[in-house]
Amino acid sequence: MSIHHITTPLDSAILDSKAQYVFYHKKVDFALKELIVAVQQNNLCTQQEIVFFKQYADLLLYSIEAMRIKYMYDEEDNMKIDVTDSGFPNYLEFRYLYNDLSLRHNYINKLKDVSQLQEEFLDQLLRVKEPVRRDKLFQAASIVYYTSVEQKYIFNRFVQGKIIKAPEGSQAEYMTSWSFYDVSLNRPFICYMYFDYDGKDPLKDKEDIYEVLSKVADRQMDLDTMAYGIDRRLKRVLPKHIKWLDVGAFHNVFAKDENELTHTILEAITKKEVPLEAYALSFKVHEVMSGSTFQEGGFFNKQVLQNWSPVTKQKYVFAPHRIIQLLYNKNPEIMNKLAKPPFQISDLKIDKV
């Protein structure tokens, strides 16, 4: 099926052709790159936060590209786009990909020799003068997939960043970042923590810090709850500022959720008021700051903990100009509640086949 056959009902959330895989990957790649630039231009993140944001986005894009290679000629399996408030691949797709690559050596030994496959392609195209069969294309794609895709670059459920010195002017001496793919929402979150350390070098405790973050800060929850969990479990770490970015939903023709903005775009695509490439991105920023401290525990195991400020919650929308107009016309109550008017990003234009 070509991209002209992309369906929009809520029960259809599967990519089932090479053209659709390519189209979807281009949409996600373009939208995330536009988002990174716009977030930086509008000062929603610091320069260092943007660096980390781009690194996590690169892992996400690498993983989606790996899915494209894996599935585009596979007649048995198809990549699934999440049916909740997401528009991104279902988390299980990342899990399958990661587990599959752990067995790559078993598969590589079973793959046909490249030179033999090339000869079969040339014979089919030049002598028989017919298109290469789909099963042969799948064999070629499998060779590319198993010999070039690296498991370590697959976006996992939790991805830990390094501990570094916080940039000048930060609320604390150190910072770290991490990202997680929330299993229930199927969206990526990117988190930053600025903290002081009761000692000379936090890298001495980095394994404990990383372990705690992976256990208590690996899913969507109230940010003050996350902050308290981190603070309570790391006695020598003094968090001062925690921030997360909720990337999504990605409102586009492949999204099959119940989000009102998604439905507005899908309806407009169905009526041919906007092209298939139409898209928008919701984006949320939550932040919490520490103020005073208090002590918890008995006489022999007292621990100084942070009193946290109320969580600051900001919601934004990024979209091309025509889509911004559409959303204002159809969903004014949502658009008027944004932290700032929608940020304009570029239109996506893809040559259709």
Question: Using one digit for the tens of pLDDT, what is the confidence trace for 197-235?
Answer: 999 899 999 999 999 999 999 999 999 999 999 999 999
Mean pLDDT by 10 residues, the chain (353 residues): 39 63 89 95 96 95 88 72 82 90 78 73 74 77 84 93 95 96 93 95 95 96 94 93 96 85 94 94 97 70 82 98 98 97 94 60
Integer CA distances (angstroms), 258 to 124, 261, 281, in order? 46, 9, 15
In a 3-state reduction of DSSP, which class is residue 305?
strand
Question: How many CA atoms are closer than 13 Å to the CA of 136, on its beta-carbon side?
Answer: 15
Instruction: Report pLDDT for 9.
Output: 36
Instruction: Report pLDDT for 39.
Output: 96
Burial of 224 (0-12, 13-18, 19+ CB in 10 A): middle
Identify the DSSP state of 295. Answer: E
Q: At 340, list the tokens.
A: 């700032």
Instruction: Report pLDDT for 69.
Output: 83
d(CA 252, CA 101): 29
Instruction: Report pLDDT for 352.
Output: 57
Integer CA distances (angstroms), 299 to 232, 295, 306, in order? 16, 10, 19
Q: At 32, list the tokens.
A: 């995330």
Instruction: Report pLDDT for 294.
Output: 76
d(CA 117, CA 299): 74
Question: How many CA atoms are closer than 13 Å to the CA of 333, on its beta-carbon side?
Answer: 1
| E strands, the chain, in order | 158-165, 174-182, 187-197, 237-251, 280-296, 303-308, 312-319, 343-344
Instruction: Report pLDDT for 85.
Output: 83
| Chain mean position to CA 326 | 25
Instruction: Report pLDDT for 11.
Output: 35
Rg (alpha carbons) of the chain, rounded to whole number? 23
